[in-house]
Amino acid sequence: MPFREFQSATNAEAVTFRIGTDIFEAAKECPAGILLSMASMAQEEGGNAVAGTMDFLDSVMLPESRERFAARMRDPQNPISLKVVTELVQWLVEVYTGRPTAQPSPSPAGPSATSPSSTEPSPPTEPTSSPVPAGAA
């Protein structure tokens, strides 16, 4: 009977990040169900990606960090912007899955294979003649 043992690749320590002067901590590992639920909510037609994102953050942030993060999300004097939240979630998903979430950037175009054509007419070329082998004429 086939058998295989699986082990999670858990981060050695809590995942730490800084926003402004505040340092926040998230769990070493994210339960797969949380990531799968977030992905499912984001892909469902009319799905609530915002709820999935908030559930994800609530699930992975350590309690003290979760409270400060939630307070900063609503603090008009020292807010956490939506752009930062989006970047944070993307980075956390990369950390927890070990896979980048962004598409690779396109490669720059290489040099042209041919030189640009000239607008000047080319000079006439002289016909080349092949030597006639001896005895063929």
Mean pLDDT for back-to-back runs of 10 residues, the chain (137 residues): 83 89 94 85 71 88 95 95 94 86 58 57 58 57
For the question of whether the overall pTM of this predicted structure is more than 0.75, the answer is no
Residue 91 Cα distances to 96, 107, 113, 118, angstroms: 9, 23, 39, 51
Q: Give the integer Cα–Cα distance in Å for 137 and 134.
A: 7
35: left (phi over 0), alpha (psi -120 to 50) or beta: alpha
**Which single residue is written with the structure tokens 């979430």?**
101
